[in-house]
Amino acid sequence: MDFAVVDYDQFMTQEILFDKSIVPLAIVDSHRVIRKVNKRFLDIFGYNEDEVIGKQTSIITPSYEKFYEYKKYFDRTKSGEIKTRELQYKKKDGTLFWVKLTGVPIILNEEEHILWSFEDVNYEVEVREKIEEQKRELEAIFDKVKTGLVYIVEGKIKKANSFFTKIIDKSKEEILNKKIEDILPSFSLEMHKYNITFEKSDQIVLHIEIEITQVGKESYIIIFDDISEHINEKKQLQYLSETDELTGLYNRRAFIKVLQKMISNHNRNFLSLAILDIDHFKKINDNFGHNIGDEVLIEFAKFLRNQLRENEIIGRLGGEEFGIVLPVKKDLAYKICERLRTKLNNQLFSSKGLKISASIGLVDNQRINKFEDLYKIADQCLYNAKKQGRNRTVFKD
């Protein structure tokens, strides 16, 4: 092997090649004694210069066993047989990490040395090991897990478990070596984790959560989790949390939330709030019992739904009190409320055929832009309607 002959003093003055290099560098003699290191080397390994100069490389190897094992690589580098390999080294604090070690034989002051460069590849090694471990685990559990698993290479399905074929309602023979987008048009490799909806051949709509892990340059493991039950339960819970159990209308919390959102929508010009209260409802409960009172409330809610349009929001605020949001000015809202009230007077409710009336407080948002003020004034108008004899609509001028 021919060694590069370098004047030692001249080499040491080339700071751009050694002391100022961003790559950790060390010069080691034929006895594996460290003769020179640069600042980057000291930063990476955590030593001061006087702690390593004159010491054998055993100071940075994980153990004496490794030190003697690495001698074969040292000798092969001296002979020119190899230049680079991945080895594990040790920092001053005991931390082990993997480096790509590159050695160049040189002659300094007529003695054989090796110039070592250290590239930290710990992350890459750990990732490779993890991927290999995941691949082994995947092979072991692929068909046993209760979630869809697919392995694709260059966009084509190379392996799929039975749970995935059950989700898409196809056999493995139908999907192997096919592009996954041909089976799931909404599929994309651009995102790591996302949800899609998928309609099976029996017209059942599934909600699928997709999680993608890249295991190679053009290969991926994809998890397909059927979360339809979870989505449906979530929708049901949301419905229950927003719905009055007796009437099926918005409950007070949900109604106020919708009202607040509509008030804060600056693109909406007109909005009126009506608060309704069934007159003398307590007498119905006292004279006929709460079951009949509940019948009245249920039928009253149905009456409101039948009389109002979809964009007119209805909620039960509590007891016999109801709220309506009308996306119109107060003048038109007043006509709607009066039409409701008049029709209500000609309606019979419950199995007892009871006649009821309602008092209504009404306000719009023309000069009021805060929810608290709007609600407070509508409530005050309702109070005035009751005070004036009930069965009437009172609005804020």
User: Which residues share a beta bridge with 397?
Assistant: none
Compute the average pLDDT of residues 20-49: 93
Q: Give the pLDDT mean for 349-369.
A: 92
The answer to whether the Cα torsion of 281, 286, 290, 296 is positive or negative is: negative
Mean pLDDT of 3-8: 52
Range 7-22 average pLDDT: 66
Which is more confident, 267 or 4?
267
17 pLDDT above the threshold of 80: no
SS3 261: helix
DSSP state of 225: E
User: What confidence score (pLDDT) does residue 266 get?
Assistant: 64
Residue 5 has pLDDT above 60, yes or no: no
**Model confidence at 186: pLDDT above 50:** yes
> What integer pLDDT is reported at residue 15 of this predicted model?
59
* 141 CB-contact burial (10 Å; exposed 0-12 / middle 13-18 / buried 19+): exposed
In the chain, at which residue ranges do the beta strands (DSSP E only) sit?
Answer: 4-6, 25-29, 34-37, 84-90, 96-108, 111-120, 148-153, 156-160, 193-199, 205-214, 219-226, 272-278, 313-318, 321-326, 348-349, 354-355, 358-364, 393-395
For 97-141, write each residue's pLDDT tens digit.
999 999 989 888 788 899 999 999 999 998 988 888 887 776 677
Q: How confident is the model at residue 1 (pLDDT cuts 50, 70, 90)?
A: very low
Mean pLDDT of 243-269: 87
Strand 96-108 to 4-6 pairing: parallel
The pTM of the full predicted model, rounded to 2 decimals, is 0.50
Q: Which of 3-17, 77-91, 102-116, 203-217 has the lowest mean pLDDT?
A: 3-17
Instruction: Tell whether the model's pLDDT for residue 195 goes beyond 50.
Output: yes
DSSP string covering 327-383: SS-HHHHHHHHHHHHHHHHT-EETTTTEE--EEEEEEESSS---HHHHHHHHHHHHH
Whether pLDDT at 18 is above 70: yes
103-114 residue pLDDT tens: 989 888 788 899
What are the chain's domains? 4-120 (3.30.450.20), 125-230 (3.30.450.20), 243-395 (3.30.70.270)
Instruction: Determine what percent of the chain is predicted with pLDDT higher than 90.
Output: 53
User: Which bin fits 226, alpha (ψ -120 to 50), beta or left (φ > 0)?
Assistant: beta
pLDDT above 70 for 6: no
Distance (Å, whole) CA 255 – CA 313: 8
Mean pLDDT of the chain: 88
Question: Is the model more confident about 5 or about 44?
Answer: 44
For residues 179-197, average pLDDT: 84
Alpha-carbon span 32 to 261, nearest angstrom = 74
Please name the residue that has the structure tokens 């010491």.
55
